[in-house]
Amino acid sequence: MAYLAFYRTFRPSTFDEVVRQEHIVKILKNQIQSGKVGHAYLFCGPRGTGKTTLAKIFARAINCLHPVGGSPCGKCEVCKALASPANMDVVEIDAASNNGVDEMRDLREKVQYPPVAGSKKVYIIDEVHMLSPSAFNAVLKTLEEPPAHAVFILATTEPQKIPATILSRCMRFDFKLIPREDLESLIKRVFDKTGKEYEEEAVSAIARAGAGSARDSLSIADMCASYTLGKLTYADVTAVLGAADFASVASLVKSMFSGDASSALAQTESILSTGKGVGTLCKDILTFLNNVAVAKLCKNAREILSLPQDRFSYLADVAAAGDGHKILRVTEIFASCENDMRYAVNGAVTLETAVLKSSLPDSDYNIDSLISRIETLERRISEGIGVQPAPAAERPAQNGGEKTVQNTKSAPAAAQPSKEEGRAAGISKLSSTHEESPFGEKSDPPAAAPSADISQPALWDEAPPPQHAGSLTEEEKGKVFGRLLKLFRTTRRNAVLFTLCMDLESSFEGDTLILYTDTEAVFKALNRPENSRFISEALSSLGVFSHEVKFKPKGESKWESAERRLKENFKGIDIDIK
């Protein structure tokens, strides 16, 4: 006899052998036992979850002369007749290739003929969503009021494509993805029946690759069983799936977490040079990042992931190198990369761009990236590690996009002019304040004052702002808000405050700087006492000694804005505006 694939050889023949889908099995069993069998059913759900299998079992069960617990006995004359491929009482139709109106008209004529062996004639229409609108209309009336001996079972993976007129005439059953534990049990039963030896980790890897589909899992298990004549190992399964080497992916992700862009890019090129597909590598990185998140956050990660000890050690080492925000940020980058590669002409460039973006958090102003950088800085400070600024030649200038070149033979900082010392002192005072974040989250002060130098580059040297009230010209006032954002951006400790302020509108009323926001949460956060003090200190170093944050709702016209300011300035006075 010709060899049959695992998913055909071990297809369930009774309801009790079906993997999960208990909510559907129970209803079908009860209908058979009570004799209340409907005339039209719709089985919908992901591929490989048992739709066609249950349809065949149900078709035999409603014709069986002596059903056992609702399942076909397999021994009576009708069961034996229906088991033959030549039987005419269970008709399977592939709607993907028979989707025209002529085929449905032919079906409508043939449905009038009575069954040959059993009491019911069952029509199983697979991939029914592929029927054309005309074909649906042709079968519509027959589906609603078929002959007493006819039962229709429609199966589909895309129920949203089926017309509402068809859906309303069917009893709908939604199949669910099969949990990994049940897939592992199924694969073990198959291997035990075929005499194949296996490692527990190998079975878990096959079940994970099956992604909730019994047919996919058995197909992978079939390939793995043929891959090696001896005991099936985790490495064998990885080789069959074409996944990148686990250690290589672990090293690549660790390099991205540590910010080593050069090493990460070199490792990416090395993996791709072995013949691994770009899409496969991206998928492997996403799978690894998901495992890292589990290892980082779950206490029983070893049991959940079911990995060999050496591979779990790799995973734990990488998880220790990244915090939660960093893991989330990198995962989001590669999830977006996987989607972008579907439309990319050169997938390798798209993947390597994602690798570089993940390795260079300093160039990314995503909020998770900023928070991760702040946490890394605070951890190093609390551990007493000195945080030295990047050389001036490597820091991008804040004006014009050119790099600032510093003369290494210049005089020490103590020899700078007094006005420079004044501004540096103001900035230092602002950056060293360590009480509460802009969102009110308290943090502990560092254990010891580290030798951290986060002073500013010489971006203020262009036009030093006056240091006394009322001396700013109109031109200087126009530059104040931009200077304020630069100050917050370069002091780093106030990165979140910079994020809050970057979308504000600003104007001067006399010598008072007015900041407008249309977001109530930002308005409340900026008016917190500690944040107001941060802004006041920063503005003082820029020559502005009075500021105010105001809430300006979206869509407010100039007239409404003027009316609102007038009422704010004259509170308690009845103002009638006409």
229 or 406: which leads in pLDDT: 229
d(CA 163, CA 142): 15
Beta carbons within 8 Å of 233's beta carbon, 6+ residues apart: 199, 201, 202
Q: What is the mean pLDDT of the chain?
A: 79
- Longest Cα–Cα distance of the chain, Å, equals 106
Handedness of CA 442, 448, 453, 455 (dihedral sign): positive
pLDDT class of 418 with cuts at 50, 70, 90: very low
Question: What is the mean pLDDT of the segment spanning 366-379?
Answer: 66
Convert the pLDDT of each residue in 457-470 to its tens digit: 433 344 444 444 45
SS3 153: strand
191's tokens:
């291997």
Question: What is the mean pLDDT of the segment spanning 91-105?
Answer: 90
What are the C-alpha distances in Å from 52 to residues 49, 132, 172, 564? 9, 21, 14, 67
Question: What is the mean pLDDT of the segment spanning 509-520?
Answer: 84
Question: What is the mean pLDDT of the segment spanning 90-106?
Answer: 90
pLDDT class of 195 with cuts at 50, 70, 90: very high
Question: What is the mean pLDDT of the segment spanning 406-413?
Answer: 40
Going by C-alpha positions, the residue among 277, 271, 311 that lies closest to residue 295 is 311
Range with lowest mean pLDDT among 222-236, 282-296, 303-317, 380-394: 380-394
Handedness of CA 507, 513, 514, 515 (dihedral sign): positive
Quickly count helices (H) and strands (E) in the chain.
25, 8
Listing DSSP states for 472-527 in one string gives --HHHHHHHHHHHHHHHHHHSTTHHHHHHHTT-EEEEETTEEEEEES-HHHHHHHT
Question: What is the mean pLDDT of the segment spanning 122-148?
Answer: 91
Residue 369: predicted pLDDT: 60
d(CA 310, CA 247): 10
Matching residue, tokens 């897939």: 183
C-beta of residue 161 within 8 angstroms of C-beta of residue 154: no
Confidence (pTM): 0.57
Q: Are strands 512-517 and 505-509 parallel, antiparallel or unpaired?
A: antiparallel
Secondary structure element (H or E) that encloses residue 40, with its range: strand 40-44
Q: Is residue 366's pLDDT more than 50?
A: yes
Q: Is residue 376's pLDDT more than 90?
A: no
Matching residue, tokens 């070893």: 302
**Helices 324-340 & 278-297 angle (0-180, nearest 10):** 160
Handedness of CA 212, 215, 218, 224 (dihedral sign): negative
Residue 406: predicted pLDDT: 42
Q: Is residue 170's pLDDT more than 60?
A: yes
d(CA 253, CA 267): 10
C-beta of residue 306 within 8 angstroms of C-beta of residue 199: no
**CA–CA–CA angle 45, 50, 54 (5° rounding):** 110
- Give the burial string for 226-237 (b: 16+ CB within 10 Å, else e): eebeeebbbbbb
CB-based burial label for 564 (10 Å; 0-12, 13-18, 19+): middle
Secondary structure element (H or E) that encloses residue 154, with its range: strand 150-156
pLDDT class of 444 with cuts at 50, 70, 90: very low
Listing DSSP states for 43-107 in one string gives EE-STTSSHHHHHHHHHHHTT-SS-BTTB--S-SHHHHHHHSTT-SSEEEEETTTS-SHHHHHHH
Question: What is the mean pLDDT of the segment spanning 285-298?
Answer: 91
Q: Is residue 114's pLDDT more than 60?
A: yes
Range with lowest mean pLDDT among 100-114, 194-208, 281-295, 543-557: 543-557
486 or 331: which leads in pLDDT: 331
SS3 42: strand
Percent of residues, the chain, with pLDDT higher than 70: 76
C-beta of residue 295 within 8 angstroms of C-beta of residue 390: no
pLDDT class of 232 with cuts at 50, 70, 90: very high
Residue 220: predicted pLDDT: 94
265's tokens:
């890019």
DSSP annotation of 464 reads P
Domains and CATH numbers, the chain: 6-174 (3.40.50.300), 180-241 (1.10.8.60), 246-368 (1.20.272.10), 473-578 (3.30.300.180)
Residue 175: predicted pLDDT: 94
